[in-house]
């Protein structure tokens, strides 16, 4: 059984992520196969629209399958992860700039790499089960796959809050934050897909989006996350004493200090273009294995699952501006380029 089903039906090209047992986590081969299909369909007159979907009831895509990369890196092989990220980011940009409409159906978990796969396209549909999040700081990474670009465009300080805490967005939140476009009840999705296949026209009926708890909390978030450093943000959360502040503080204390400081630097003020974001993110992820906390973060959260990572910085106060700058410095011959 293929990890990604690629087919043409009627006027549509359809990509179905097919690893439901792994919550449709992206592998390197999935990214390569998806890119090849998308490039072939650009000049295919039979394909008017592209549909992205995930198999199984639980997830559109839970992220990138990073365990293999971390295990290889533990043995000193950094190329597996670096090659995966290079090709994944190229796919992300292709999806965002695709010349034909792409409709993604974002049910269940849509996290990390799943946001890069389905959250950058022209028409992003969410339903009742949608839960969107960027949890990378908890595994010693930064919100990549264009995450820094998306998060920097969320109103106020909510993007920084989402990137630092891995807070999950329901459908109303995802639309308010700019991670999705349309709310359509999931019971209506089969009929909508059939219409797209038959007509090739992405005429999405508009339903009223659910309310956004995130929007309702935006004034509080702006107040608590406006400081110019992670230690200062944590001090503000500690002083606040609310349940919301306590929950956010607990999330920050779990994360890699280097990842959080870097995320702050990358989101504020944010990259000018998606391509710029991906290039900057690649510099960071390229170094994440030998100079960052990626190997330890994946070990603690996904391999040994002891939830007790030993980060290279014991506290957020230990991370310097020079530490962050070193992670984001140009890579010379190894730089990520759009047309690789």
Catalytic residues: 64, 113, 136, 144
CA 11 to chain centre: 29
Q: Give the bridge partners for 49, in sequence order.
A: 12
Closest CA to 103 of 191, 208, 204, 2: 204
- Who contacts 272 (Cβ-Cβ below 8 Å, separation ≥6)? none
118 neighbors 61 (Cβ within 8 angstroms): yes
Question: Which is it for strands 49-54 and 59-61: parallel, antiparallel or unpaired?
Answer: unpaired
- Residue whose entry in the numeric block shows the structure tokens 């200090």: 257
CA pair distance 179, 281, nearest whole angstrom: 18
- Residue whose entry in the numeric block shows the structure tokens 């503080």: 249
Alpha-carbon torsion (69, 143, 145, 122), positive or negative: positive
Give the number of other Cβ atoms within 10 Å of residue 317's Cβ. Answer: 12
Burial class (CB in 10 A: 0-12, 13-18, 19+), 290: exposed
CA pair distance 31, 94, nearest whole angstrom: 11
Alpha-carbon torsion (117, 119, 125, 126), positive or negative: positive
């Amino acid at each position: 059984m293929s990890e990604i089903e690629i087919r043409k039906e009627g006027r549509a090209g359809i990509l179905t992520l097919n690893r439901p047992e792994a919550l449709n986590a992206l592998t390197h081969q999935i990214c390569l196969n998806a890119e090849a299909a998308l490039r072939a369909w650009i000049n295919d007159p039979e394909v008017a629209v592209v549909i992205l979907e995930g198999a199984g009831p639980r997830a559109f895509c839970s992220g990138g399958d990073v365990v293999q990369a971390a295990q290889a890196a533990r043995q000193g092989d950094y190329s597996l992860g670096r090659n995966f990220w290079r090709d994944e980011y190229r796919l992300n940009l292709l999806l965002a700039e695709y010349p034909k409409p792409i409709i993604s159906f974002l049910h269940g978990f849509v996290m990390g790499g799943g946001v890069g796969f389905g959250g950058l396209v022209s028409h992003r549909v969410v339903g009742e089960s949608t839960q969107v999040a960027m949890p990378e700081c908890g595994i010693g990474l930064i919100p990549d796959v264009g995450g820094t670009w998306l998060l920097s465009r969320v109103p106020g300080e909510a993007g920084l809050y989402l990137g630092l805490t891995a807070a999950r967005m329901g459908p109303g939140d995802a639309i308010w934050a700019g991670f999705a476009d349309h709310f359509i009840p999931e019971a209506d999705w089969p009929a909508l897909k059939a219409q797209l296949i038959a007509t090739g026209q992405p005429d999405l009926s508009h339903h009223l989006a659910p309310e956004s708890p995130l929007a309702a909390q935006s004034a509080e978030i702006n107040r608590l996350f406006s400081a110019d450093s992670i230690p200062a943000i944590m001090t503000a959360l500690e002083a606040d004493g609310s349940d919301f502040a306590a929950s956010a503080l607990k999330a920050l204390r779990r994360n890699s200090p280097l990842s959080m400081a870097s995320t702050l630097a990358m989101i504020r003020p944010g990259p000018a273009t998606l391509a710029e974001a991906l290039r900057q993110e690649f510099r960071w992820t390229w170094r994440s294995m030998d100079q960052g906390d990626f190997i330890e973060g994946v070990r603690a959260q996904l391999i040994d699952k002891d939830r007790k990572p030993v980060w290279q910085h014991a506290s957020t106060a230990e991370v310097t501006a020079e530490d962050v700058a070193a992670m984001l410095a140009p890579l010379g011959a190894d730089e990520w380029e759009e047309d690789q």
